[in-house]
Structure 1
């Protein structure tokens, strides 16, 4: 299916089935402000999967078809982007950007993969990860964020493998590149995320661990 046809179908599904929770009534993504700067989760209820996306610099696409240009413009507007449009030499120039990170909640993994692919193909930086279900329930919540990629060097030790596993389990983007006898490990969580723990002691341990590894982290009592 052509991408513009697919995205039109996706927004139809959104409006009919309500599959994209953050798009809501007016089909617009949102940034989820916390009480502090960033994204909020309110009562920390979760369903489906969450994508984060950003496009800080203007992206320009050229269209020969006015309908396709309008469709793409409508889509990125609904996602909360700034949009500019012009024309020259017989084609349409569509420019857009999304300076701040925004989140998009979808119903399932298949939709998350489709949206992730479309956003990446449209020039966005996309964060799509999964939190281990073990961290999805519990009375104590720890919120955390690491906007810029952090890079460390590894040597293939068990401690390194444990670190990578823990980062993935709490929903971070993790990239491991092995070369010349060592590993370059990069990780981030560009929007506020949370994990749920069974008790206050566990929440305190995770808060300390996150801060030691470069994250902003908070645990409200």
Structure 2
């Protein structure tokens, strides 16, 4: 088992999911269809199984000839909060490699230093540390300058909306009363998020626009 995986698993054990304890960054994730991971080593399979269970996945272990399969899914968006942006990027990488869809938004003056040079009504992203090949990712930039209140009757929808807004890096105020929940959300400064394809970026651009965000999509 790699040191990176063990350090990530320990960080999740300390912070928990959706705990907010010392949290500075959030990563949202989901995996609506069953995903299968193969393991030759039973200990590695067990660690992976425990990790995805802690991430609120449905999970099962299946013995198959001379190896073990761990199968898992999580239909609704969930999120984890971690102490640093470095951990958030490590978790994003691990989650993507493990089959999950991931959301992790960044501010304009993000400390890791991406540089995509996107201009729009006077704002600019200066992020020199991330260098992506042409066509490798597409970026969507967004903001929501005034508070928007979203009323959600269903508890699972309420929790999923919070996970999404956490993943996008928005500010949240949450209340629950009389069997439903209200979420106040805003994102007063420009933020950006990267997607693996034009199709995915376009779909999220539409979702953000529908939810009253100002959106720019660099092609």
- TM-score band by shorter chain is 0.5 to 0.7
The aligned residue for residue 36 of structure 2 is 60
**Per the alignment, in what secondary structure is the counterpart of residue 55 of structure 1?**
strand
Partner of 1:173: 193
**1:63-98 deviation digits (Å, cap 9, x = unpaired):** 110000000000000111000111121111110001
Contact 1:132 1:171 in 2 (8 A): yes
Q: 2:140 matched to which residue of 1?
A: none
Alignment-derived partner of residue 202 in structure 2:
186
Which runs of structure 2 are paired with 1:110-149 in the superposition (5 Å)?
A: 110-131=86-107, 141-142=147-148
Looking at structure 2, the residues matched to 177 and 66 of structure 1 have their Cα atoms a distance apart, in angstroms, of 35
- Unaligned runs of 5+ residues in structure 2 are 110-144, 151-160, 165-186, 214-219
Residue of 204, 210, 213 corresponding to 1:214:
210
CA contact (8 A) 1:173 1:187 kept: no
Q: Which has the larger radius of gyration?
A: 1
- In structure 2, the CA distance between the partners of 1:71 and 1:185, relative to structure 1 (3 Å rule), is closer
How many residue pairs get aligned? The number is: 143
Aligned to 1:49: 25
Distance 1:169 1:59, change over 3 A: farther
CA RMSD for the aligned pairs? Answer: 4.0
Any idea what the Cα deviations from partners look like across 1:169-188, whole Å, max 9, x if unmatched?
5545355989xxxxx96263
TM-score normalized by structure 1? 0.52
CA distance in 2, matches of 1:123, 1:168: 32
Q: Deviations over 1:137-158 (max 9, x none)?
A: x9x733576x7xxxxxxxxxxx
Please give the residue correspondences for 1:20-31 in structure 2 after superposition, counting only pairs within 5 Å: 20=15, 23=16, 29-30=17-18
| 1:11 has 2:5 as partner | no
Are residues 66 and 174 of structure 1, via their aligned partners in 2, closer, same or farther at CA, if it must alter by over 3 Å?
closer
Structure 1 contact 58–96 (Cα < 8 Å) conserved: yes
In structure 1, runs of 5+ residues without a counterpart are 24-28, 33-40, 148-166, 179-183, 192-209
Residue number in structure 2 paired with 1:90: 66
Q: TM-score by structure 2 length? A: 0.52
Does the 8 A contact of 1:52 with 1:102 survive in 2?
A: yes
| Partner in structure 2 of residue 81 of structure 1 | 57
Q: Is the 8 A contact 1:174 1:186 kept in 2?
A: no
Alignment match of 2:76 (pick from 74, 78, 100):
100
